[in-house]
């Protein structure tokens, strides 16, 4: 290993909350060399961001480095301040934050913000800014520099911040979940770009993420953070193949690995929750949740043991930690549903008019109307899980809301068991309302903070189950047990629950109505992997027991391949591919599906980033402008036809199926002669 | 497009003003007392009164009176004041001009001072100087303008003899002559607004300081002052625009008390005069023009806001 | 003021006119005028302006004597039915046209024209005919003798206009000592000296500004702050304040004006004499005088014939001392053993609200529970409410002769008989006093009238005002008038 | 919401505690006025006109010889009853209307809030003056005016909160179970609107004090001889030079109460923000 640029020695950080001091980081020791990327992973609240900010000396006002040193090229950052610190900030220390929109001043143009970071003479700085934007693969730097932050897509915003972090000669780059707010396809491109730039500029980098797959792609070494402590650190491949801490092992087991299926391999989530700052247990911080823990663990805090070169773990019993052997790649048979359809949509369409800013109005731009859904036909069967995937803005949520009746479609029809549904929920008979239920994406918003969990669960029983208040109350514990929550939770209020627990309550509430179809809109996306695993298990379990159907919306293909029976791929309000999950995903046919899948593959195909303000072409294939395999004029001129690719498997593309299959398997371009 | 938007906003504004005009008209008709009596004095006979009422159109059906008044108002014929028999429009516009002058002077004082104090307090939130500013502002908040007005007259006009106690502006006065007359009323009104503006600014600054983009700016190595000036202020002061609009509306007729204390010939004093004399038609004109100004100020504030904050999207409310 | 009269001499207080013509600017505080048509103008503020833009035929001096103005001299026929007034020479309107007898005839014909329904129609109903006698003399013919006719000619409304003027409220074309430069409603009026004014040495100042104040406290502030030179009227505490202020001269003049507390006598409870006596017994006039008026003016004796009418004023009939217990007993006798509840309507001007509050407190001891309702004058007088309510307080301005009060306020069926008092004995006495040319008989009648009012008049007059005014030092020639609107500003020099 | 935590957060701040003490002090004065006040608020003493403060008349006497301390004490009753009662009623009406109409939306919302906009387009004091002119001055009128002037404002605030809550998941969840309207309005929405309204109510209360005092000062509010503080300032204006205390005393009472209410409002805001 080259000499370290960054050395963190025994770093401890605490926050002040009123008169209380909350220690959040304890005795962190890390070092990062030039050009090296150190991954930092851990559940939400483990202190990852705090570490990143502490290293940059950019903690919030109530945070303080209480002990330790942060050496950057031998200079202790913890002791610098004032003008010296500002000089370091402007020259060497850089941050790429999670939420690019929030990190940009909303009322200043991009150009001005970049120029300010670069400093020096104005015209020189402007030229350099344009060059930097070009370097981060922004096609039209001039236009972007004249734009306000909100006028750019999330990916573009993040590229701007990356450009901002790259000017001069950065020595330390902290990447705090830089892609969490982005689409999978954009994420892939941004990660590629970051890897390139780190190789080029050779800063020491900290890559913070809760997404283990992502870390694996970019970090050479990875540290696992738990409750403010580094519990394991190792080269990334070692960590993933031979974790030596029960927590690392737990995280890996929670992931839905390719090839696993819900009906055969339940995930193995970590029980319990991360302790809040200030409530650390006496011995090992992980002991309360650890399957290996004994009295010693609860008494005695383990040191960070070096167990191999570059591999250290904070566990008394590291040698007992073992990852299960290689898992059998389970081939999912392509099953086709046999029974009658539960719910069908016919040419369902939805147009949404969008608002404009005054400046746009003044510039004379026409008011955009988004075709959020365009002639969507799909069928959901009993006892099956239909996954819907697609980039952000592809119309997944709109589809779900139209089905439930929360938004009226602007065209088309929905039938439940062959009976047409009224467009809006309050026009539907109560029986229809009962049969279709939905779990929303954000668990923070799903529950009314003013009502107890018990009350939240009782209401659907009363309203839709026809129970009286007392009987309903008696059924609440059953519902809680159904989603693996203790019955005592009935008396709690939402703010006393973690995100995963709230989502489980939301699921229980939706299930209380004993629906025939449960729509889950990104119901697990906001959750930590271990919590996500628990929720997925609950869903699988309930489906097996009740034969309910799910409409499962997600952008995480791993989850879809784990959980779904059938899958629908959406692009800009249209279905581009649909069929049984095994047929659609292994291998993918449609170039769009291919790109979605390839996003997790470092060498996969990449899409050009969609222009947030651009509208779909009026004719031809809507995907054509971004398609890596477009075959020329026909794609631009003619809408693609539906093609049958197998039993129940259809795709909408001009490229002949055979060509697609060949290209997919060999990962090579298709010539445009056809 | 922009025209269509403006057109819609103005239509909406028209609807609001219309509702207000109806409310004003109805309330005015509920006022007890008799214009004719006020006009002719207590010595006038019944027949004379009836004749006058007929002449003023007070004996027609309410709806007719309302529509007539409204049409006249829109067309610029605001009628003849019942009491003084003078055309209303020049009178009201002249007073409005005076009130706007006072309002302008007040804003000229209150804005820099309030924003300055607010920024300082927000920047130094939690520190002793912030606490000091807060306490001072709070004490000012507690005093109604009719009290501060009297105390200021006593101090500046009688004890120190620096400023006139009264502000009956002469028609031919130059700005130099008017300025000292404006001073005390403007200071009094400023004290009412000051705390409001300063607190709002302080909240805005504190709020903006906690935004992530401030951290971005800090990590660029900018000095705190630059961050405040270039980044925080602009965003923190956006809400102040709305306050200015509201204050303008408040000042126009909210100056009732101040104008009465200082005998300042503004619209507020004219309003009390009209109420006192039961000059309904004058009263209606004053109330409605205030409403119009209030509404226009709000519209302008909205437009300004939308222009200064590129994020604001416009559309159907 | 009877028989054929020779003009009284000019008031000696008038300053020697400056030789070099008028100079300087006088700023006077005034309440807000509303109605500037002389035929309707009635308030102090209105008359103050008109009195300087126009002229009366005859004027009243500070001692209530009739003095010449436009009329240089006058004669009365022996039967008391014909008055001939000779006009002064060299009188010009502001537009340059000379004053003629025709203008006077036109003015008074307008004032008495029934069809125009002006408030003066009743006052001049007794005039049979007005004729011009040449260019500069006018003859008034009456139907019955009227010893107070010259006072009537000096009525506030009787300002001489240019014959045929169509917009008297805004024309401002008078003969008076000042021309209107600019009138700003509810704000101020600026006037300039009328160079061709017919009275030598008048006006003494070049510019007159009358600045309007809604609030007298603000007016007094302006005086203290040097923004005005003269305040003609103010409430008592402000006057007391100014008495202690350096650089300010305070002037108080006793007047015949008073606040009238009156109960309607034509219906319950006022139609029971015991109730009226109870109210009178429950009232401590001395205390009211001290609290409300701080001892400025004079204590009242329930009759409008005040101490300034020295020839007529009498203290013969004693006022029974305050006795709340007796009052309570009287009320019980009148059928109110648990006391009496009454609304008291008060206009919000002057010291009247304070008077109401003090009365409430005093009467409470006698079991009379007063609910004070303070109203703007526009409401109090509007819709003739003041003539309707049971219990009210009304301000009555100063008049040069007492007969006026009796005729309009107290005789049966009088226009403003707000107490609805109707007493045959009183009416007869009032009629005698009105018409007799025998002064001794009038004195006797007035004496009896005072007795009747003290014993059974449904009115309480707790005090007579003093006219309270103040000006800055350095102002010369100011003479206070009982009715401040008739102050002569033209003689003031700065 | 944890009441104890809320309470602790509330009193932890000395400024809030001071505000609470001030307001509680005035409340005590108002409640136990007859026990505290040495004299009747209207009792006059001809021999003790305009006495400066002394042991027997703590705040001195006025031009009619009335004890100013007693008048302040009784005035506190009026002030708290009118400003407080008016605010309370406005908050109740405003909440009821704002929450239900905003949730229902549609033409009803349009209608109601257009009407409110029409009312709100007039500055508060102007509207108050017009209304008081129409109904005549009295305690009840003042109360009514405060309700009419502030109900639309409260409704607007309630509405803005409801509009942010409406797209929230739990409201959609309620729609997905065909929930009763009354349940959604009063059990789901109201508790969440309440904190904002509490802050708004405190703010309104302090404005209401000003409004009542201003109306008193303009002579159109509570009528003499009632010891209204604004009216006392008006009456004192004429004799400021003779008896300055007669102005200082009611002015200080107004200022103190407003400051107390403001401090409390600030405390409520902070406490709610923290929990
Ligand atoms: N300014 C702050 N004041 C007090 N506590 C804080 C503050 N910021 C963070 N914390 C607490 O410190 C702990 C660590 O927070 P941190 O943001 O570093 O976690 P994280 O690992 O980045 O989580 P996430 O994945 O959710 O971003 C959490 O318990 C958090 O609640
Ligand atoms: N209320 C709305 N107003 C304006 N546009 C909307 C609205 N709701 C959705 N859209 C637009 O409709 C399109 C489809 O949105 P939708 O939310 O259904 O996508 P999605 O696939 O659920 O995206 P995500 O993965 O980000 O949740 C997008 O372009 C979006 O901008
Ligand atoms: Mg974080
Ligand atoms: Mg979505």
- Tell me: the pLDDT tens digits for C203-228? 999 999 999 998 888 999 999 988 89
Give the CA diameter of chain B. Answer: 85
Subunits in contact with chain C (3 or more CB pairs closer than 8 Å): B, D
Sequence-distant contacts of C2-9: CB under 8 A, at least 24 apart? C2/C147, C2/C437, C2/C439, C3/C76, C4/C75, C4/C76, C5/C66, C5/C74, C5/C76, C5/C150, C6/C73, C7/C67, C7/C68, C7/C72, C7/C73, C7/C74, C8/C61, C8/C65, C8/C66, C8/C67
Give B57 to chain D, closest Cα distance, Å: 20
B172 alpha carbon – ligand 4 mean position (Å):
68
What pLDDT shows up at residue A50? 94
Q: Quote the Cα angle for D234-D239-D243, to 5°.
A: 115
Q: Three-class SS string for C283-338?
A: CCHHHHHHHHHCCCCEECCCCCCCCCCCCCCCCCCCCCCCCHHHHHHHHHHCCCCC
A393 alpha carbon – ligand 2 mean position (Å):
5
Give A90 to chain B, closest Cα distance, Å: 4
What pLDDT shows up at residue B7? 81
Give B208 to chain A, closest Cα distance, Å: 10
Angle of the A469-482 helix axis to the A499-512 helix axis, nearest 10: 130
Does the beta carbon of A352 lie inside 6 Å of ligand 2?
A: yes
Residue A145 domain-assigned (yes or no): no
Interface test with B, best of C121, C347, C382, C407 (most B CBs within 10 A): C382
CATH number of D3-39+57-239+267-274: 1.10.3720.10
Give B253 to chain D, closest Cα distance, Å: 7
What pLDDT shows up at residue D6? 65
Tens-place pLDDT, residues D5-16: 666 766 777 888
Residue B115 domain-assigned (yes or no): yes
Instruction: Supply the Cα-derived Rg of chain B in whole angstroms.
Output: 24
**Mean pLDDT comparison of A613-622, B234-243, C425-434, highest-scoring range:** C425-434
* DSSP, res C144: S
Q: Are A389 and A576 within 8 A, CB to CB?
A: no
Judge if A78 and A216 occupy the same domain: yes
What pLDDT shows up at residue A269? 87
Residue A548: CATH number of its domain: 3.40.50.300
Among A372, A521, A523, A614, which residue has the most ligand 2 atoms within 8 Å of its CB, making it the best to mutate?
A372
Tens-place pLDDT, residues C247-264: 999 999 999 999 999 999
| pLDDT beyond 50 at C6 | no
Judge if A474 and A607 occupy the same domain: no
> C245, D241: Cβ pair inside 8 Å?
yes
Judge if A484 and A612 occupy the same domain: no
Residue A337 domain-assigned (yes or no): no
Residue range of the domain that includes A297: 4-101+170-320
Chain C CB contacts of D239 below 8 Å = 237-238, 240-241
Domain ranges of chain D: 3-39+57-239+267-274
* DSSP, res C193: E
Band of the pLDDT at A617, cuts 50, 70, 90? low
Residue B315 domain-assigned (yes or no): no
Distances (CA, A) of C418 to C370, C401, C415, C433: 19, 20, 8, 21
Does the beta carbon of A26 lie inside 6 Å of ligand 1?
A: no
CA distance C145 to C164: 30
Q: Are A205 and A171 within 8 A, CB to CB?
A: no
Chain B CB contacts of D114 below 8 Å = 15-16, 19
Tens-place pLDDT, residues B49-85: 788 788 777 788 888 889 988 999 989 888 888 777 7
Tokens of C117: 């329904």
| pLDDT beyond 50 at B189 | yes
Judge if A500 and A543 occupy the same domain: yes
User: What is the residue-averaged pLDDT of chain C?
Assistant: 88
Residue range of the domain that includes B37: 33-77
Band of the pLDDT at A567, cuts 50, 70, 90? very high
Judge if A512 and A648 occupy the same domain: no
Q: If DSSP codes are grouped into helix, strand and coil, which group holds residue A74?
A: coil
Residues forming a β-bridge with A446: none
Ligand nearest to the CA of B313: 2
What pLDDT shows up at residue A674? 39
Judge if B237 and B174 occupy the same domain: yes
Band of the pLDDT at C15, cuts 50, 70, 90? very low
CA distance B243 to B197: 7
Residue closest to C176 by CA, chosen among C190, C157, C196, C153? C196
> D42, C354: Cβ pair inside 8 Å?
no
> A89, B314: Cβ pair inside 8 Å?
no
Q: Are B232 and B209 within 8 A, CB to CB?
A: yes
Distances (CA, A) of C274 to A197, A357, A542, C266, C270: 109, 81, 95, 14, 9
Interface confidence, given as ipTM, is 0.83
Chain B CB contacts of D214 below 8 Å = 144, 146, 257
Q: How far is CA C336 from the centre of its chain?
A: 38
Q: Are A536 and A263 within 8 A, CB to CB?
A: no
Of the residues B24, B49, B77, the one at which a domain ends: B77
Judge if B218 and B279 occupy the same domain: yes
Residue B16 domain-assigned (yes or no): no
Q: With b meaning 16 or more CB within 10 Å and e meaning fewer, what string describes A506-530?
A: bbbbbbbbebbbbbbbbbbebbbbb
Ligand nearest to the CA of A40: 1
Does the beta carbon of A47 lie inside 6 Å of ligand 1?
A: yes
Residues with CB under 5 A from ligand 4 (ion): A 397
CA distance C471 to C466: 16
Q: Are A553 and A530 within 8 A, CB to CB?
A: no
A524 alpha carbon – ligand 3 mean position (Å):
18
Least confident of A53-57, A257-261, C60-64: A257-261
Q: Are D232 and D245 within 8 A, CB to CB?
A: no
Tokens of B160: 């120190």
Residue A554 phi/psi, 5° resolution? Answer: -160, 165
Does the beta carbon of A555 lie inside 6 Å of ligand 2?
A: yes
Interface of B with C in 70-109 (CB under 8 A): 81, 83-86, 91, 94
DSSP letters, chain B, are -HHHHHHHHHHHHHHHHHHHHHHHHHHHHH--S-HHHHHH-TT--HHHHHHHHHHHTTTS-HHHHHHHHHHHHHHT---B-TTT-SBHHHHHHHHHHHHHHHHHHHHHHHHHHHHHHHHHHHHTTTSHHHHHHHHHHHHHHHS-HHHHHHHHIIIIIIIS--S-S-----TT--HHHHHHHHHHHHHHHHHHHHHHHHHHHHHHHHHHHTSHHHHHHHHTT--HHHIIIIIIHHHHHHHHHHHHHHHHHHHHHHTHHHHHHHT--SHHHHHHHHHHTT-HHHHHHHHHHHHHHHHHHHHHHHHHHHHH-TT-EE---
Judge if A357 and A453 occupy the same domain: yes
Band of the pLDDT at A667, cuts 50, 70, 90? low
| pLDDT beyond 70 at C156 | yes
> A361, B2: Cβ pair inside 8 Å?
yes
| pLDDT beyond 90 at C51 | yes
Which helix (H) or strand (E) segment holds residue D260: the answer is: helix D245-274
Judged by a CB distance cut-off of 8 A, whether residue B261 touches chain C is yes
Look up the pTM and report it: 0.85
Judge if A426 and A531 occupy the same domain: yes
What pLDDT shows up at residue A175? 94
Judge if A201 and A69 occupy the same domain: yes
Q: If DSSP codes are grouped into helix, strand and coil, which group holds residue A77?
A: helix
Tens-place pLDDT, residues A299-350: 999 999 998 889 999 999 988 887 665 555 555 666 666 677 899 999 999 9
Give the one of C119, C187, C224 whose C-beta lies nearest to B265's C-beta: C187
* Structural domains in chain B (count): 2
Judge if A392 and A501 occupy the same domain: yes
Judged by a CB distance cut-off of 8 A, whether residue D242 touches chain B is no
Q: Is the model more confident about C104 or about B242?
A: C104
Judge if A185 and A281 occupy the same domain: yes
Pairing status of strand A419-420 against strand A411-416:
antiparallel
What pLDDT shows up at residue C9? 41
Least confident of A94-103, A396-405, A651-660, B234-243: B234-243
Q: Find all residues with CB under 8 Å of A254, minimum gap 6, and list them.
A: A267, A268, A269, A270, A529, A530, A532, A533
**Mean pLDDT comparison of A451-460, A591-600, B286-295, D56-65, highest-scoring range:** A451-460
Does the beta carbon of A277 lie inside 6 Å of ligand 1?
A: yes
Give B102 to chain D, closest Cα distance, Å: 17
A15 alpha carbon – ligand 1 mean position (Å):
9
Judge if B219 and B185 occupy the same domain: yes
Residue B316 domain-assigned (yes or no): no
A212 alpha carbon – ligand 3 mean position (Å):
15
CA distance A62 to D14: 21
What pLDDT shows up at residue C7? 42
DSSP letters, C269-281, are TTTSHHHHHHHHH
Does the beta carbon of A350 lie inside 6 Å of ligand 1?
A: no
Q: Find all residues with CB under 8 Å of A562, minimum gap 6, and list them.
A: A256, A260, A261, A262, A267, A536
Chain C CB contacts of B54 below 8 Å = none
Judge if B142 and B270 occupy the same domain: yes
pLDDT mean over B249-269: 82
Does the beta carbon of A24 lie inside 6 Å of ligand 1?
A: yes
Give the one of B223, B230, B310 whose C-beta lies nearest to A357's C-beta: B310
Shortest-distance Cα residue to atom 22 of ligand 2? A397
Does the beta carbon of A52 lie inside 6 Å of ligand 1?
A: no
What pLDDT shows up at residue A223? 96
| pLDDT beyond 90 at A473 | yes
Give D193 to chain C, closest Cα distance, Å: 42
> D254, B142: Cβ pair inside 8 Å?
yes
Band of the pLDDT at B169, cuts 50, 70, 90? confident
Tens-place pLDDT, residues A487-534: 999 999 998 888 888 988 999 999 999 999 999 998 888 788 888 898
Judge if A414 and A528 occupy the same domain: yes
Least confident of A104-108, B27-31, C109-113, C430-434: B27-31
Q: Are C494 and C26 within 8 A, CB to CB?
A: yes
Interface of B with D in 150-209 (CB under 8 A): 150, 154
Tens-place pLDDT, residues A634-648: 888 888 889 888 888
Give the one of D42, D136, D238 whose C-beta lies nearest to C235's C-beta: D238
Atom of ligand 2 nearest to the CA of A354: 4
Judge if A59 and A179 occupy the same domain: yes
Chain B CB contacts of D210 below 8 Å = 144
Distances (CA, A) of C392 to C324, C367, C373, C406, C458: 21, 18, 9, 18, 11
| pLDDT beyond 90 at A602 | no
* Structural domains in chain A (count): 3
Give B225 to chain A, closest Cα distance, Å: 13
Does the beta carbon of A15 lie inside 6 Å of ligand 1?
A: yes
Judge if B57 and B183 occupy the same domain: no
| pLDDT beyond 60 at A149 | yes
Cα dihedral A262→A263→A267→A272 (10° resolution): 110
What pLDDT shows up at residue B192? 84
Residue B121 domain-assigned (yes or no): yes
Q: Quote the Cα angle for C341-C346-C352, to 5°.
A: 115
CA distance C214 to A479: 74
Which helix (H) or strand (E) segment holds residue D196: the answer is: helix D190-217
> A367, B1: Cβ pair inside 8 Å?
yes
Residue B262: CATH number of its domain: 1.10.3720.10
Residue A579 domain-assigned (yes or no): no
pLDDT mean over A33-44: 92
**Mean pLDDT comparison of C48-52, C339-343, D139-143, highest-scoring range:** C48-52
Interface test with A, best of B4, B214, B219, B222 (most A CBs within 10 A): B219
Of the residues B23, B46, B77, the one at which a domain ends: B77
Q: What is the mean pLDDT of each run of 10 residues along chain D (275 residues)?
A: 64 82 91 84 84 88 89 91 94 95 90 89 86 83 92 93 90 91 93 89 90 88 86 89 91 92 85 67
Ligand nearest to the CA of A396: 2
């Amino acid at each position: 290993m080259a000499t370290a640029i960054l050395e963190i020695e025994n770093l401890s950080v605490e926050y002040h909350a009123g008169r209380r001091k909350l220690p959040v980081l304890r005795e962190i020791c890390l070092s990062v060399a030039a050009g090296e990327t150190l991954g930092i992973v851990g559940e939400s609240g483990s202190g990852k961001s705090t570490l990143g900010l502490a290293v940059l000396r950019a903690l919030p006002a109530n945070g303080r480095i209480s002990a330790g040193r942060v050496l950057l090229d031998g200079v202790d950052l913890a002791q610098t301040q004032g003008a010296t610190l500002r000089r370091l900030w402007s020259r060497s220390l850089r941050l790429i934050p999670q939420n690019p929109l929030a990190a940009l001043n909303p009322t200043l143009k991009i150009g001005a913000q970049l120029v300010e970071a670069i400093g020096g003479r104005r015209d020189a700085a402007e030229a350099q800014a344009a060059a930097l934007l070009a370097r981060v693969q922004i096609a039209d730097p001039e236009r972007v520099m004249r734009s306000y932050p909100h006028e750019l897509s999330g990916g573009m915003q993040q590229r701007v911040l990356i450009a901002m972090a790259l000017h001069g000669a950065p020595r330390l780059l902290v990447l705090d979940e830089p892609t969490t707010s982005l689409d999978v396809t954009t994420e892939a491109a941004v990660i590629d770009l970051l890897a390139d730039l780190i190789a080029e500029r050779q800063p020491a980098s900290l890559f913070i993420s809760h997404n283990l797959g992502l870390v694996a792609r970019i970090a050479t070494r990875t540290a696992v953070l738990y409750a403010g402590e580094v519990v394991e650190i190792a080269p990334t491949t070692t960590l993933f193949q031979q974790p030596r801490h029960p927590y690392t092992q737990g995280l890996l087991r929670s992931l839905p690995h390719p090839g696993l299926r819900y009906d055969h391999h339940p995930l193995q989530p970590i029980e319990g929750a991360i302790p809040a700052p200030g409530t650390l247990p006496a011995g090992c911080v992980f002991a309360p949740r650890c399957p290996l823990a004994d009295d010693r663990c609860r008494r005695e805090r383990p040191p960070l043991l070096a167990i191999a070169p570059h591999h250290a773990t904070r566990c008394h019993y590291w040698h007992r930690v073992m990852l299960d052997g290689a898992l059998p790649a389970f081939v999912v048979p392509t099953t086709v549903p046999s029974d009658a359809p539960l719910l069908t949509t016919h040419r369902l369409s939805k147009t949404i008019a969008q608002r404009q800013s005054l400046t746009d109005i003044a510039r004379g731009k026409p008011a955009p109307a988004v075709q959020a859904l365009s002639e969507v036909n799909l069928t959901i069967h009993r006892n099956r899980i239909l996954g819907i995937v697609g980039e952000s803005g592809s119309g997944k949520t709109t589809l779900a809301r139209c089905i439930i009746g929360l938004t009226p479609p602007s065209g088309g029809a929905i039938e439940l068991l062959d009976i047409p549904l009224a467009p809006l929920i309050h026009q539907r008979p109560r029986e229809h309302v009962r049969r279709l239920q939905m779990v929303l994406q954000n668990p923070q918003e799903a529950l009314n903070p003013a009502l107890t969990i018990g009350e939240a669960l009782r209401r659907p029983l009363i309203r839709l189950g026809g129970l009286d208040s007392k009987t309903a109350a008696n059924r609440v514990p059953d519902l809680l047990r159904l989603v693996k929550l203790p019955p005592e939770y009935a008396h709690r209020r939402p703010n006393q629950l973690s995100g995963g627990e709230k989502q489980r309550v939301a699921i229980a509430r939706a299930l209380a109505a004993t629906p025939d179809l449960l729509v889950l809109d990104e119901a697990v996306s906001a959750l930590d992997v271990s919590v996500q695993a628990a929720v997925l298990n609950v869903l699988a379990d309930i489906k097996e027991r009740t034969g309910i159907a799910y409409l499962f919306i997600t952008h995480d293909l791993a989850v879809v391949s784990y959980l779904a029976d059938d899958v629908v791929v959406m692009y800009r309000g249209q279905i581009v591919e649909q069929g049984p999950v095994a047929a659609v995903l292994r291998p993918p046919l449609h170039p769009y599906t291919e790109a979605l899948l390839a996003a997790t593959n470092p060498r996969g195909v990449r899409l050009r980033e969609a222009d947030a303000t651009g509208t779909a072409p009026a004719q031809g294939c809507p995907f054509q402008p971004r398609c890596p395999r477009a075959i020329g004029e026909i794609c631009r001129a003619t809408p693609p036809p539906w093609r049958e690719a197998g039993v129940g498997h259809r795709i909408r593309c001009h490229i002949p199926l055979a060509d697609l299959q060949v290209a997919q398997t060999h990962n090579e371009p298709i010539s445009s002669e056809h | 497009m922009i025209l269509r938007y403006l057109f819609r906003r103005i239509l909406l504004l028209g609807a609001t003003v219309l509702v207000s005009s109806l409310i004003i008209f109805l309330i005015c008709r509920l006022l007890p007392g008799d214009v004719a009596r006020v006009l002719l004095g207590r010595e006038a006979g019944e027949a004379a009164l009836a004749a006058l009422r007929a002449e003023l159109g007070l004996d027609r059906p309410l709806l007719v009176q309302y529509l007539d008044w409204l049409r006249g108002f829109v067309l610029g014929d605001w009628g003849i004041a019942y009491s003084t028999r003078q055309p209303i429009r020049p009178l009201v516009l002249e007073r409005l001009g005076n009130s706007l002058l006072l309002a302008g002077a007040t804003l000229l004082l209150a804005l820099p001072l309030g924003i300055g104090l607010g920024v300082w307090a927000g920047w130094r939130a939690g520190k002793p100087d912030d606490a000091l500013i807060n306490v001072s502002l709070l004490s000012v908040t507690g005093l109604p303008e009719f009290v501060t007005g009297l105390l200021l007259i006593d101090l500046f006009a009688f004890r120190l003899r620096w400023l006139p106690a009264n502000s009956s502006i002469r028609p031919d006065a130059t700005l130099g002559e008017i300025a000292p007359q404006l001073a005390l009323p403007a200071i009094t009104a400023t004290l009412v607004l000051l705390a409001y503006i300063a607190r709002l600014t302080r909240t805005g600054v504190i709020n903006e300081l906690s935004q992530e983009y401030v951290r971005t700016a800090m990590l660029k190595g900018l000095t705190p002052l630059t961050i405040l000036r270039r980044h925080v202020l602009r965003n923190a002061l956006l809400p102040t625009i709305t306050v200015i609009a509201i204050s303008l509306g408040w000042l126009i007729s909210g100056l009732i008390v101040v104008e009465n204390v200082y005998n300042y010939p503004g619209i507020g004093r004219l309003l009390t005069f009209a109420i006192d004399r039961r000059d309904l038609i004058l009263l209606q004109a004053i109330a409605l023009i205030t409403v119009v100004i209030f509404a226009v100020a709000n519209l302008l504030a909205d437009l300004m806001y939308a222009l200064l904050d590129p994020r604001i999207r416009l559309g159907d409310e | 003021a009877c028989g054929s009269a020779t003009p009284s001499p000019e008031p000696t207080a008038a300053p020697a006119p400056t030789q070099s013509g008028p100079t300087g600017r006088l700023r006077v505080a005034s309440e807000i005028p509303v109605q500037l048509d002389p035929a309707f103008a009635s308030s102090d503020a209105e008359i103050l302006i008109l009195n300087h833009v126009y002229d009366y035929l005859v004027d009243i001096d500070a001692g209530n004597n009739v003095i010449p103005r436009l009329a240089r001299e006058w004669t009365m026929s022996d039967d008391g039915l014909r008055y001939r007034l000779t006009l002064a020479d060299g009188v010009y309107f502001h537009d340059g046209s000379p004053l003629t007898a025709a203008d006077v005839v036109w003015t008074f014909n307008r004032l008495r024209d029934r069809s125009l329904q002006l408030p003066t129609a009743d006052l001049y109903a007794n005039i049979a005919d007005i004729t011009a006698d040449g260019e500069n003399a006018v003859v008034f013919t009456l139907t019955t003798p009227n010893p107070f006719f010259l006072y009537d000619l000096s009525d506030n409304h009787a300002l001489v206009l240019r014959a045929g003027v169509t917009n008297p409220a805004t024309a401002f074309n008078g003969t008076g000592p000042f021309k209107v430069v600019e009138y700003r409603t509810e704000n101020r009026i600026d006037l300039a000296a009328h160079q061709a004014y017919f009275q030598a040495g008048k006006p003494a100042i070049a510019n007159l500004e009358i600045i309007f104040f809604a609030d007298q406290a603000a007016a007094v502030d302006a005086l203290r702050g040097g923004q005005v030179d003269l305040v003609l009227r103010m409430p008592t505490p402000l006057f007391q304040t100014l008495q202690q202020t350096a650089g300010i001269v305070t002037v108080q003049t006793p007047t015949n004006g008073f606040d009238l507390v009156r109960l309607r006598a034509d219906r319950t409870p006022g139609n029971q004499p015991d109730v009226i006596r109870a109210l009178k017994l429950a009232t401590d006039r001395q205390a009211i005088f001290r609290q409300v008026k701080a001892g400025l003016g004079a204590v009242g004796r329930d009759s409008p014939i005040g101490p300034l009418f020295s020839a007529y004023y009498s203290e013969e009939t004693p006022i029974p001392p305050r006795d709340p217990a007796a009052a309570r007993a009287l009320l019980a006798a009148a059928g109110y053993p648990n006391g009496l509840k009454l609304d008291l309507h008060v206009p919000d001007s002057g010291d009247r609200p304070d008077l109401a509050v003090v009365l409430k407190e005093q009467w409470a001891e006698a079991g009379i529970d007063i609910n004070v309702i303070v109203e703007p004058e526009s409401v109090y007088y509007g819709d003739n409410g003041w003539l309707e309510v049971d219990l009210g307080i009304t301000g009555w301005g100063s008049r040069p002769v007492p007969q006026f009060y009796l005729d309009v306020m107290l005789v049966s069926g009088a226009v403003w008989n707000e107490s609805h008092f109707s007493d045959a004995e009183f009416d007869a006495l009032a009629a005698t006093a009105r018409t007799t040319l025998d002064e001794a008989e009038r004195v006797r009648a007035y004496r009896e009238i005072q007795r009747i009012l003290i014993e059974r008049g449904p009115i309480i007059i707790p005090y007579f005002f003093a006219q309270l005014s103040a000006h800055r030092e350095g102002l010369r020639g100011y003479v206070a008038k009982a009715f401040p609107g008739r102050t002569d500003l033209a003689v003031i020099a700065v | 919401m944890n009441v104890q935590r809320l309470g602790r957060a509330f009193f932890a701040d000395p400024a809030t505690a001071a505000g609470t003490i001030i307001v509680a002090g005035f409340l005590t004065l108002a409640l136990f006025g007859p026990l505290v006040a040495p004299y009747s608020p209207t009792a006059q003493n001809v021999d003790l006109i305009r006495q400066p403060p002394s042991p027997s008349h703590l705040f001195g006497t006025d031009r009619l010889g009335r004890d100013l301390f007693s008048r302040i004490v009784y005035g506190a009753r009026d002030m708290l009853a009118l400003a407080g009662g008016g605010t309370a009623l406005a908050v109740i009406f405003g909440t009821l209307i704002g929450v239900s109409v905003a949730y229902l939306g549609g033409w009803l919302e349009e209608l109601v809030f257009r009407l409110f906009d029409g009312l709100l387009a007039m500055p508060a004091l102007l509207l108050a003056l017009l209304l008081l002119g129409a109904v005549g001055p009295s305690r009840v009128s003042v109360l009514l005016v405060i309700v009419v002037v502030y109900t639309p404002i409260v409704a607007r605030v309630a509405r803005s909160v409801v509009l942010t809550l409406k797209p929230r998941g739990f409201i959609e969840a309620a729609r997905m179970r065909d929930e009763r309207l009354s349940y959604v309005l009063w059990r789901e929405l109201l508790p969440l609107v309440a904190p904002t309204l509490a802050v708004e109510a405190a703010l309104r209360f302090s404005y209401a004090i000003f409004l009542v005092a201003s109306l008193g000062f303009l002579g159109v509010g509570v009528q003499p001889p009632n010891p209204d503080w604004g009216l006392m300032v008006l009456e004192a204006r004429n004799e400021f030079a003779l008896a300055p205390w007669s102005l200082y005393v009611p002015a200080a009472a107004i200022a103190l109460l407003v400051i107390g209410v403001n401090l409390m409002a600030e405390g409520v805001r902070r406490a709610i923000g923290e929990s």
